[in-house]
Structures are given as C-alpha cells and as structure tokens.
C-alpha cells in the first residue's frame, strides 16, 4: 500500500500541481481585437467591384483590403446592466484610417418577466445576419439584399429595443424597437449621405413620432430531436425616408435557420447549416428632383431580394458552403444603375479554422450581371477572395 | 402606410400560428438544470422527489463543444438552480444561455447559481505566463473532475446546502440523500468492509491528503480495502498515454502516471512529429495503452497503437449515472493496463 502514496506523489510532482482554493479573479472589462483582411482577384475593374460588393466592410478592390478591425469591450456594469462597445477601424481605398462607432449599448440583466431592454447605438434585430458582426458571417461579403435594403453598414441606429422571452415551452422571442431614422446607417430611411434614390428632406428634424423608425421582430426556435434545431423569424421595420415629407419606407423580412449536428461530434464538427432570408422593401417616393436634375413623381416602389446558403462542416476544422442570391423589383426597372440594377450572384466558399481564434477563407463569386446597367452589361464577372481573420483577447461564446 | 402595417401584422401572425404544447414543469418541485449528465445524476440523487432535473449536454458529447441552442435557453429560463461544471469548461456556451434566459435567480453569484467546481480542489493550475500559443489551457485548473469519486463526494455535500438555501423545509431530506449518495461512492471506491469499519468521511479525508495507504498500514486495515481502489491497486505507478488531459483527476486518484498526451498541447491536433515522439516513448517505456474518448478523432491514436503495440482504450467521461461511468472507466483501464 505504500506504493499508492509514492506514485500519487510522483504523479503530483510530475504533472499535477494542486491548489487548495481558487482565488477570486477580476473581470471588469473583457477586451478583444478581431481583424479581418482579404485579398482578391477579379475580372471586374475596381469601380465595378465597388458596385458589386456593396457592403461597407466587404473586400472592394483587386489586391488587398483591410475589411474590419474591431475592438470589443464587454462587461457587467453593475448588478443591473451589461455594457458592450464595438469600435471598428478600417483602411479606405486611399489608405486612410476610418473609424466608426459600430455599437455601444447597455442591456438590462435583471428585469422580471423575461424582459430585456437595450439602449444605445446598435445593430437592429432585423433578420438573422444583420445583428451579426462581419467576422461571424459564413461568407467574405455581405448579402446583396442586406446591403441593398438594410444598408452597406447594416441597419444600425441609436435607440432602444425591448425584447420579451415569452413563457412558452419553446423559444419564442418578441422584439420591438424605436430608433433614430436618420444617418448613413439607416440606409433606406432618412439618409442624405448616399441614399438609394435621392434626398430631399432635412435630417435631424424629429417633430413627431412619425419621424422615428420602428422595428418589430418575432423569432421562434424548435428542436427536432437532439441534433436538429430550426429558427424561424419575421421582421418588420418602418420609418420615414429622405425623398420628402410623408414619404416612408417599410422593410419586411422572413428568415430561416436550420442546423444539424450529431451529438457525438469532434470539436463541433461535422455539421450542416441552412440559412435563408427573404426581404421586401416598400419605398414611397415623394415627388422631387435628384442632384442631377432628374424629376420624380409620387411613387411606391416594391423591391425584393433573398439569399439562401448552405454551409457544411465536412471535416474537423473545415467548412464548405454555397450561396445563391437575387435582388430586383420596381427600382431596378425604373432607375437602373450599377447600385440599383437587378442582381444575381452565386458564391462558393471553403474555410479552414486552424483554431477557434483564426480562420482562412477562400471564396469564389460569380456575378451574373447581364441586367446590370452601363457599359459592363452583358458580361459575367468572376472574383476570387482570400480572407484571413485573427482574434485576440477573450473569446466570446458564439451565438447559436 | 395603413396597408403596409396590416400586411406586416398578417405576415407575422401567419408565420407564428403554432399551437401551445403542454408545459412539462412540475410546479411544486425545485426546477434544476445541469450542464453535464454526471452532474445531473448527482442533482437527482441528492434532490430526490423534491427536484425536477433537466440536463443540457448529452452522454458522449464533448462538453467543451455544445451548441447554446435556444431550447436550452428555455430550460434555463425556468430554472431555480443552475448547476455547471465550472473552471471554464462550458465557457463556449453557458454564458449565452445565462444571458439569454433573462432569469435573474441563476446568474453568477446568485442563490440559484451552483458552480460545482467551487467544492473541489482544482489540479493542473498553470504557472507563469499564459497565452494561446500554449493551446486551450484552462487558466483556473483542469475542469475534468467528474471521473474523480472524491470530487463528486464534495459536490454532493455542497449541493445539499444549495438545495437547502432554496428549499429550507427539505433540509433534512437533502442532507440524508447527500449522505446516502456519498455512502454509495465510498463503498464503490473503498469497499463496503472498510467503509463500515472506518467510515467514509475519514477515508475520504485520508485519501484527499494522500495518506490513505499510511493510514491503512498503520491500523492494519490494508487487507480490508475493496472497491475501485482495490481493483486498481495492481496498476500503481503504471504509465499511460491519453489523447487529452481530461482524465488527470482519475489518473491521480488511482496512482496511474500520465506520461504524455497525443495532443501536443491541449486542443491542438497531433502533428506527425509529435506522434513519432509518442510512439518512441511508448516503445521505450513499454506503455500498454493509449486512452481516448469516442468523440475524438482516433486516426492518430490508432496509428500510435499500431506502431507501439499498445491497446486503444475508449473511455466515456460523461453519462446519466456518474458512478456507472467511473465504474466503466475503472473496468476498461484496469483491463487494458493489466
């Protein structure tokens, strides 16, 4: 029996260091850095790439793009609130550093009855991909429909969101929000910087409730056994737009997310996820003139778009994916330019994750631009992007 | 404007016309949610009829990598007590569940938050500078203690106290059920005869302090040792190789020496060079077994076994009965290393 003691002692000195009590650890602020960089080759020239890749953090030129360098701080403010801030830096085409305050908000942690209130600058809870930061996307670039309706930077604004986790036996989340309707990050609303059509009203003039933007979302999730989980969502956002007094925009969205993963998996692999979003935008246009002097009459433009994608984690640390997207509608027919033209795009992607903190991604885009206005009409464009990411600091849990 | 609002409402209502299934939660019991099946089994044993236990991860699932599914959020939303393994084992999924649940009772620091690792003494605490070039090192110690019967013993006792805080009228029941569970553990570990003669608490204290064999020899009790310790006695000081560091508490408890892991660093897949080193060492030291879990890729392990002549032993680390899982691990390892 002596040997039990002796070998336990040996093991203890050889491999194991034991401690009697765990010390307290401070976690007042969790700070992390995330960098997304890309390099690309394309049959399209740079101006056309900019029209094809509409997302503000998409790779947008032949050669190298620093898409997104995100500094994130999160923590518990006190027993009542969590705080979160995301500061994003990027290099523009001239090599100048641009900074944006992507998100900064408080979220309550101790309200009763399944309620949570968020207040501040935030990605609005519209659909599935809009609230995700670019490094959480499964493709290098933003979706066509997302950039077109929700905007190149996503639908982000200053305001407040209330969500309620209903006391149902399955997951059912109801969200409502009120936001400022103006600025470049409320793209389809009061946006004089780079509006989808033209700007004819003074921003910042909130004279009544009709000058704010309103959001509603319902999301529910149902599991099919232990291995398959499905989330279904519907979103709606309403607010004034910049074409004139009384002109409004509504965006409707429906989203589906399905994930299959076996219970016995190796570090999260294999898995299959299907994701799709359909959106429709009703943009009422007040009579007026754009900068070029073109006159517009009163009109209601219905536009639509969708994407459907599948990602297959086929082998530990590797995923392959495919995405099909379309966008079109009244505005594509009435005022076609490279930005508003009907679009169709097919993409395929292969991603390698050396660890949870880095990734390498190769993506091929086939832009079917036969309907694109201008001199580039009629040719298809081929683009290859190579993206890499690294993450430093606390690794936040991944949202499902 | 009006028609668009109506259209919106109709769209949303149409998409969500799902009928209400019945609620599964019994009102008069404590609602307990445990992250791991083994912790769930302790929760059931100590809570008995007064608790209703839901378990999030599944037996056979790698507890590091569990999806924070919305259906889990619903379970955590209704919990009076949330039991987690702690030591950052569930750092990739539990924070999202707690935050998403909007349940104030079970947030960290609350009465309904039970971090089971607070009851144990963590091992493998890293020293010096820590960064991610070292792999997935758990900074607060090795979190895989559920294969250590004495760790579970301590968890059962702490859990009875937590139950009592939430449900004071059950104090005696919880204390008695924790004692009964501990006795089962003690008998399984030390054997019934020794437990009857000395008492489980005393034996557990001596074993935790590393003085068990001295104590037994001094008191002439060596012949009365039974249970898992008796079964593992012939394996004292035997060297073993494992895929990951998730059985270190088990090796320590039974005096087995882990000489190397197939992973060069925790969570980092084996390279060809490292595999060759491990094979060489296993041949030199005549190591008879390489131990892994069913959820790990076994290509490197199989290669090592083939080249070194060792056996591959697949040991489950989680299951709906913590005692049965330890029992199976003892059986498999004893069989392979004999």
Going by their DSSP bridges, the two strands B289-292 and B257-261 should be labelled as: unpaired
Cα B242 to Cα B267: distance, rounded to the nearest angstrom: 13
Domain enclosing residue A92, as ranges: 29-393
Q: Has residue B22 been placed in a domain?
A: no
Instruction: Enumerate the residues of chain A whose CB falls inside 8 A of the CB of residue B281.
Output: none
Q: Has residue B331 been placed in a domain?
A: yes
Percent of chain B with pLDDT over 90: 83
Instruction: Output the 3-class SS for A140-207.
Output: CCCCHHHHHHHCCCCCEEEEEEEEEECCCCCEEEEEEEEEECECCCCCCCECCCCCCCCCCCCCCCCC
Of A15, A82, A110, the CB nearest to B248: A15
Q: How many helices (H) and strands (E) does chain B have?
A: 14, 8
**Are the Cβ atoms of A268 and B65 closer than 8 angstroms?**
yes
Q: Has residue B86 been placed in a domain?
A: yes
Of A252, A266, A400, the CB nearest to B68: A400
What was the pLDDT predicted at B139? Answer: 87
Q: Has residue A345 been placed in a domain?
A: yes
Q: Which residues of chain B have pLDDT under 50?
A: 1-2, 6, 8-26
Instruction: Enumerate the residues of chain A whose CB falls inside 8 A of the CB of residue B99.
Output: 82, 109
Q: Has residue A74 been placed in a domain?
A: yes
What was the pLDDT predicted at B44? Answer: 98
pLDDT in tens, B12-64: 444 444 433 334 444 589 999 999 999 999 999 999 999 999 999 999 999 99
Domains contained in chain A, number: 1
CATH number at residue A198: 2.40.160.10
Q: How many helices (H) and strands (E) does chain A have?
A: 4, 18
Rounded to a whole number, what is the distance in Å from the CA of A166 to chain B's nearest CA? 9
Residue A102's nearest CA partner among A91, A124, A86, A118 is A86
What was the pLDDT predicted at A192? Answer: 79
Residues 6+ apart with CB under 8 A from A10: B237, B257
**Are the Cβ atoms of A170 and B69 closer than 8 angstroms?**
no
Q: Are residues B144 and B247 in the same domain?
A: no
What was the pLDDT predicted at A65? Answer: 92
CATH number at residue B311: 3.40.50.1980
pLDDT along chain A (400 residues), means of 10: 37 35 70 94 89 90 92 91 94 89 94 95 97 94 96 96 97 98 90 78 74 97 96 97 90 98 93 98 86 80 96 96 95 70 94 94 91 63 96 72
Domain enclosing residue B258, as ranges: 232-337
Nearest CA in chain B to A222: B71
**Are the Cβ atoms of B11 and A226 closer than 8 angstroms?**
no
Q: Has residue B268 been placed in a domain?
A: yes
Q: Are residues B81 and B149 in the same domain?
A: yes
Domains contained in chain B, number: 2
pLDDT in tens, B116-140: 999 999 999 998 888 888 888 888 9
Q: Has residue B129 been placed in a domain?
A: no
Whole-complex ipTM: 0.88
A vs B: CB pairs below 8 A: 202
Q: Has residue A14 been placed in a domain?
A: no
**Are the Cβ atoms of B141 and A169 closer than 8 angstroms?**
no
Of B18, B71, B269, the CB nearest to A229: B71
Q: Has residue B264 been placed in a domain?
A: yes
Of A9, A236, A263, the CB nearest to B8: A236
**Are the Cβ atoms of B217 and A2 closer than 8 angstroms?**
yes
Q: Has residue B299 been placed in a domain?
A: yes
Q: Has residue B185 been placed in a domain?
A: no
């Amino acid at each position: 029996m002596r040997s039990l003691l002796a070998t336990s002692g040996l093991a203890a000195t050889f491999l194991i260091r034991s401690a009697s009590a765990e010390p307290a650890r401070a976690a007042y602020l969790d700070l992390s850095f995330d960098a997304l960089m890309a390099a690309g080759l394309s049959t399209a020239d740079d101006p056309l790439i900019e029209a094809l890749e509409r997302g503000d953090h998409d790779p947008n030129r032949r050669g190298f793009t620093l898409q997104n360098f995100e500094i994130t701080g999160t923590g518990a403010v006190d027993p009542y609130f969590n705080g979160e801030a995301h500061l994003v830096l990027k290099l523009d085409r001239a090599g100048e550093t641009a900074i944006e305050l992507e998100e900064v908000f408080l979220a309550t942690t101790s309200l009763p009855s399944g309620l949570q209130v968020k207040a501040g600058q935030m990605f609005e809870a519209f659909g599935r991909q809009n609230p995700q930061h670019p490094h959480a996307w499964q493709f290098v670039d933003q979706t066509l429909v997302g950039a077109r309706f929700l905007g190149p930077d996503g639908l982000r604004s200053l305001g407040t969101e209330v969500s309620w986790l209903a006391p149902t036996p399955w997951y059912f989340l109801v969200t409502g929000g009120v936001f400022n309707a103006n600025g470049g990050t409320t793209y389809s609303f009061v946006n004089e910087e780079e509006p989808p059509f033209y700007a004819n009203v003074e921003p910042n003039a909130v004279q009544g409730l009709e000058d704010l933007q309103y959001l509603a979302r319902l999301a529910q999730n149902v599991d099919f056994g232990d291995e398959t989980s499905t989330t279904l969502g519907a979103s709606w956002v309403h607010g004034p737009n910049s074409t004139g007094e009384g002109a409004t925009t509504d965006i409707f969205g429906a989203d589906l997310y399905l994930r299959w993963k076996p219970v016995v998996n190796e570090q999260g692999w294999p898995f299959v996820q299907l994701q799709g979003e359909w959106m429709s935008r009703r943009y009422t246009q007040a009579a007026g003139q754009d900068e070029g002097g073109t006159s517009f009459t009163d009109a209601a433009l219905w536009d639509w778009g969708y994407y459907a994608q599948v990602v297959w984690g086929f082998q530990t640390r590797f995923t392959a994916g495919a995405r099909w997207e379309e966008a079109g509608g009244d505005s594509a027919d009435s005022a076609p330019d490279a930005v508003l033209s009907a679009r169709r795009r097919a993409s395929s992607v292969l991603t390698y994750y050396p660890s949870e903190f880095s990734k390498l991604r190769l993506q091929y885009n086939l832009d079917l631009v036969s309907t694109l206005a201008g001199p580039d009409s009629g040719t298809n464009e081929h683009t290859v992007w190579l993206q890499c990411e690294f993450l430093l600091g606390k690794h936040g849990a991944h949202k499902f | 404007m009006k028609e668009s609002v109506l259209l919106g409402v109709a769209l949303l209502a149409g998409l969500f016309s799902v009928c209400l299934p019945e609620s599964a939660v019994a009102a008069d019991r404590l609602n307990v949610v445990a992250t791991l099946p083994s912790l769930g089994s302790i929760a059931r044993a100590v809570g008995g009829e007064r608790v209703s236990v839901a378990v999030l991860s599944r037996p056979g699932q790698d507890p590091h990598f569990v999806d924070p599914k919305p259906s889990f959020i619903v379970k955590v939303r209704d919990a009076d007590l949330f039991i987690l393994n702690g030591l950052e084992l569930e750092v990739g999924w539990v924070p999202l569940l707690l935050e998403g649940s909007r349940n104030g009772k079970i947030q960290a620091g609350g009465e309904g938050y039970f971090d089971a690792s607070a009851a144990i003494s963590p091992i493998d605490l890293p020293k010096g500078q820590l960064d991610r070039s070292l792999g997935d090192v758990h900074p607060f110690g090795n979190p895989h203690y559920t294969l250590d019967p004495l760790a579970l013993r301590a968890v059962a006792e702490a859990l009875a106290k937590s139950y009592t805080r939430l449900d004071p009228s059950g104090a005696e029941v919880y204390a008695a059920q924790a004692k009964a569970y501990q006795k089962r553990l003690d008998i399984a570990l030390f054997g019934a005869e020794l437990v009857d003669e000395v008492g489980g608490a005393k034996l557990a204290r001596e074993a935790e302090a590393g003085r068990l064999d001295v104590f037994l020899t001094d008191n002439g009790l060596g012949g009365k040792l039974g249970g898992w310790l008796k079964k593992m006695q012939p394996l004292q000081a035997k060297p073993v190789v494992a895929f990951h560091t998730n059985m270190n508490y088990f090796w320590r408890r039974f005096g087995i020496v882990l000489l190397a892991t197939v992973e060069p660093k925790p969570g980092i897949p084996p390279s060809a060079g490292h595999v060759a080193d491990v094979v060489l060492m296993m041949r030199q030291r005549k190591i008879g077994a390489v131990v892994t879990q069913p959820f790990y890729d076994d290509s490197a392990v199989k290669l090592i076994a083939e080249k070194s002549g060792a056996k591959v032993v697949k040991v489950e680390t989680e299951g709906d009965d913590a005692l049965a899982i330890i029992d199976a691990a003892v059986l498999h390892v004893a069989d392979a290393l004999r």
